[in-house]
């Protein structure tokens, strides 16, 4: 595995873990969520972090996986 592929996968997995952790905190520690949204200001910040990190992390991980399989087929 190339070093840049490893970095892309590492960054993507870190972003996904941050997104999952902030979602868990938003739902449990920061007051929960109703139909109108989170109850506290920290809940809203956690929602913003979740909505930023999860999609970007998933895209980065997909890019890393595609790069990993692409480099294996060339070898």
Which pLDDT tens digit goes with each residue over 25-44? 999 999 899 999 899 999 99
Assess whether pLDDT exceeds 90 at residue 10. yes
> Which residues lie closer than 8 Å to 60 by C-beta, 6 or more apart?
8, 9, 11, 12, 15
> What residues does each domain of the chain span?
3-74
Residues 6+ apart with CB under 8 A from 8: 60, 63, 64, 67
- State yes or no: pLDDT of 24 exceeds 70: yes
Query: What is the per-residue pLDDT for 57?
Result: 97
Task: Please name every residue paired with 14 in a beta bridge, in sequence order, or none if there are none.
Answer: none
């Amino acid at each position: 595995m190339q070093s840049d592929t490893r970095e892309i996968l590492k960054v993507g997995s870190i972003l996904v873990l941050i997104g999952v952790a902030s979602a868990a905190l938003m739902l449990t520690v920061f007051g929960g969520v109703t139909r109108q949204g989170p109850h506290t200001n920290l809940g809203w910040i956690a929602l913003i972090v979740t909505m930023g990190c999860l999609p970007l992390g998933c895209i980065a991980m997909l890019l890393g996986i595609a790069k990993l399989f692409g480099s294996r087929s060339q070898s």
